[in-house]
Each structure stands twice: as structure tokens, then as C-alpha cells.
Structure 1
Amino acid sequence: MASYNEISVPTLARLIGTPDCPVLLDVRIDEDFDDDPRFIPGAFRHPFKDVLDLADELQTRSVIVYCQRGLKISQGVAAQLRASGVQAEVLEGGQFAWRDAKLPMVMTEKLPPLDTSGRTVWVTRHRPKIDRIACPWLIRRFIDPKAQILFVAASQVTNVAERFGATPFDIEDVYWSHRGETCTFDTMVEEFGIGHDALTKLAAIVRGADTNRHDLAPETAGLLAASLGLSRMFRNDLEQLEAGMLLYDAFYRWARDATNERHDWPAASAKG
């Protein structure tokens, strides 16, 4: 059982991929990171000796700190942050405990380079519908919560990518795109190594809606309808993305927690 100021692996696993996920701070030393250069989904790395540099920006956030085993480095960093007014906990057992639980981990060699603000930058075609909302949701919930998403004219995606150091996605002839009968969302789940049951269910729905394969899942038509409705409600692509984040949060929680739940009318009434 996790002790005071610690969080267990199962408890953290329930938070990953949700809007309530804390900031995940990887403070492993270089040797330990090189031994297993993967992140817990959504985590970012920072030198433990410089952690107080982050204190101001973390004041309003909950933080989970982890090193290799969750011992002296994690405990010390979390204590320093708490002394600076940050709500910080340690992951019980550290990265080893997460790894040994066989939970998804992000393949860091697939991560795009960070900009000067320490975030990944992605660019795609404007006026998104399905894949171009689903992918940013996946990136921000499982890869990089601070990721910047740029929407530009279709003819300028590659040019903007080159000039602004952004990573293009969901256009033809780039790495992060459709492959065969799968869509860009599938590509990201597979290449980042974050696949698990809920994302697999969600990926089938996204693929069906994005490629007009409504036979893949009954929920496909609903996602298509909601996505097209959002595209008519918003002229601003970033406002549409923010609304779409909530939509995909709901689909993810359904895929994770509610696939066996049914609803009917009239509701069962108590007798007597």
C-alpha cells in the first residue's frame, strides 16, 4: 500500500489519459534513463538537481514524481517541491513498478524534438473533422500535454513544418499518416507503443468514422455525426479542438469503463 505522499501504480494508471491526470515528472538520472529510455504516458523529463526551476509554473498543479525505484531521488524532489508550495507525490516503486506492471510506456525515440518552451509542435490541415481532432487528443492525453497544434492551409503544411520546426501529421507522404486501411490515430498508438484495450476500442471507432467503415464498430456513426456537428459549430479550429477534447474524453472513458453498461426505458422501478 502506498504510504503518505505516495501514489500507487494502479491509482496513477486510472488517471492517465484523463483531464485530471497530474503533471508527471521523470527525474531519473542519465544512466537509469539510458537503461530504459521510455516514459510513462504524458511524462516529461527534468534534471532532479534543477527541479526548483519548475516550482513557479507547478504551483497550481498536482505533480507525480518518479525516478527508477521511487526512492531517494523521487522522495527528495517531491519534498523540495512541497517545501515550495507544490502539491507533489511520489510514484510508489518508481518507473520499475510501472514497467513491471506491464503498463504502456511511450517510445521516446519516436518523439519529435522539443521547441524552446519544452513542447512538441505538430502541424496539419485546417478545418479538421475526425483524425485531425483524435490525434491531437491522443498526443495531449498520452504523449505531451503541452503539445502545440497548428492548423494551416493544406498546401502549406509541409512548408510550415520545415520553417517552424513542426511535425506534420495526417497528410499524404509523411511518417505520421494513414497506412493501408488504418488511419493516423492507429499509427500513433502503434508507433508510440501506448496500445491498451481502451485505446484499441477507440482506435477502431476513429478508423471507421475516418475511413467510412461503419462496419468496424456500432459507435462509428455516432462519432462521425458528432465530429461533423462540431465542424459546423466552430469556425476557429483551435476552439473546435478544445470542444473535441471533451468529446474524445467521453469516448475514451466509455471505452475504458462503460462498454458493458446498457440503458433502457422505462427504467426498472422498485416494487412495493
Structure 2
Amino acid sequence: MTVLWVTRENVHVDRVACPWLINRFIDARAQFVFLPKVEVPDFSKKTGAIQFDMGGSAGLDHHKCGNEDHCTFDAIVEKYKLQDDEALERVRKLVRAADTDGLQKEPRAWVLEIIGTGTPLLTRSDQESLESEFPVYDALYAYFQQEIVRERFKADIEEFKTRGEARDFIKQKMNGLKSRALR
């Protein structure tokens, strides 16, 4: 059974990152619908679609965690208990910073802001923006996986004479990392 997810139209960082998260870690067959905000509740009632990032601070939406602003990506990670994936936690930190005005605290998050702003200008639909940006999130996740491997196996990696040998070693070790990714 395919699960429908629905949110506001005109995607930006959180409304791309969340479908990526859902598709890669929760439901590989999930389908996403983007509608004018006023149409989402009726659509959800009629179809059973799960609402997310509606800007109402309820359910799968932005919320406070202590003194820190969290975004919908955080809410989904928490609901589906995905916090044990260290690389995903690093992606989560960037998504949160890009989506909750935390760019000064996390400068690498600027890349998500730039891509999230630029991609919709090059595409014809929110769905097309997802298709264009999912590989960016896949690459970001892989980057953080290799970063973790480099931290854990620094001495081993320094022994390799070529970038290719080091990359092959890193890929092998990445496969051993705790990940709940569906693909």
C-alpha cells in the first residue's frame, strides 16, 4: 500500500528534506502531494494523506525543543526514532540550521539554502524540485558517512598511496555503519 503525504506547495529546504527522509528511511514507495495550504486539510481528510510542514506547529511540523527551534525534519526523525544513525543526525543538524534561521551557527547549511532557493527557479513543479534535489541529499548523507569513517579510521586511511585505494576502503567501511536507509 502506498502512503500519501501532503504539504504546502512551493517547496524549500524542509519540504524537500522531509520527503527525502521519508523516501529513504521510512517508506520507499511514499507519494507526495503539494497543494495550496487551504486545500491540504480537506485533501488529507478525503484521502488519509499524512500532513507535514504545514506551518501550524502541531504534529509533524516545526516545534521547540528546550530553547532550540526544530523543523519538521526533526519531528519526523523523532517520531520514527531515527536518531541512532550518526550520518543522518549530521544531515538533520544542517537541515535544522537552514530551515530555522541557524545559518550563522552552522555555516555549511548555506548550501541547502542556496540549493533550496535555486532549484525551484529551474524546475516546473514541486515534484520536479524533489527529483532534482534528492541526489543532493543522498550525496550529503554519503559525505557525512565518509566523514565518520575518516574520523574512525584516520590512521588506516593515511596509509593508502592513492585516492582510489582510500575511497574503496571508505566505501567498504561506510557499508558497515549503522544506517536505516531503505536503499
Same fold (TM over 0.5): yes
Q: 2:134 aligns with which of 239, 245, 249?
A: 245
Judge conservation of contact 1:204–1:216 (CA < 8 Å) in 2.
no
Runs of 4+ in 1 over 4 A off after TM superposition: none
Letter in 1 for 2:138: D
Task: Specify the alignment match of 1:57 in structure 2.
Answer: none
Task: For 1:165 and 1:222, locate their aligned partners in 2 and report how far apart those are by CA, in whole Å.
Answer: 34
The reply on whether 1:174 has 2:58 as its aligned counterpart is: yes
Task: Specify the alignment match of 1:20 in structure 2.
Answer: none
After superposition, the C-alpha distances for 1:141-197 in whole angstroms (9 at most, x for unaligned) are 000000010000111111111111101000114311111110000111111011121
After superposition, the C-alpha distances for 1:194-238 in whole angstroms (9 at most, x for unaligned) are 112111111110011111111332311111111111021112111
User: Superposed, which structure 2 residues align to 1:106-255 within 5 Å?
Assistant: 118-171=1-54, 172-180=56-64, 181-195=69-83, 196-255=85-144
Structure with bigger helix share is 2
Judge conservation of contact 2:61–2:72 (CA < 8 Å) in 1.
yes
> Whose relative contact order is higher, 1 or 2, with alpha carbons under 8 Å and at least 6 apart?
2
Judge conservation of contact 1:208–1:216 (CA < 8 Å) in 2.
yes
Judge conservation of contact 2:57–2:63 (CA < 8 Å) in 1.
no
Task: For 1:258 and 1:197, locate their aligned partners in 2 and report how far apart those are by CA, in whole Å.
Answer: 10
Task: For 1:216 and 1:244, locate their aligned partners in 2 and report how far apart those are by CA, in whole Å.
Answer: 23
Aligned residue pairs, count = 144
Task: For 2:38 and 2:50, locate their aligned partners in 1 and report how far apart those are by CA, in whole Å.
Answer: 15
Task: For 2:104 and 2:43, locate their aligned partners in 1 and report how far apart those are by CA, in whole Å.
Answer: 36
Question: Identity over aligned residues, as a percent?
Answer: 35
Judge conservation of contact 1:168–1:174 (CA < 8 Å) in 2.
no
TM value normalised by structure 2: 0.74
- Structure with higher Rg: it is 1
Deviation at 1:121, TM superposition (A): 0.9
Unaligned 5+ runs, structure 1: 1-117, 262-272
Unaligned 5+ runs, structure 2: 152-183
CA RMSD of aligned residues (A): 1.5
Task: For 1:134 and 1:218, locate their aligned partners in 2 and report how far apart those are by CA, in whole Å.
Answer: 18
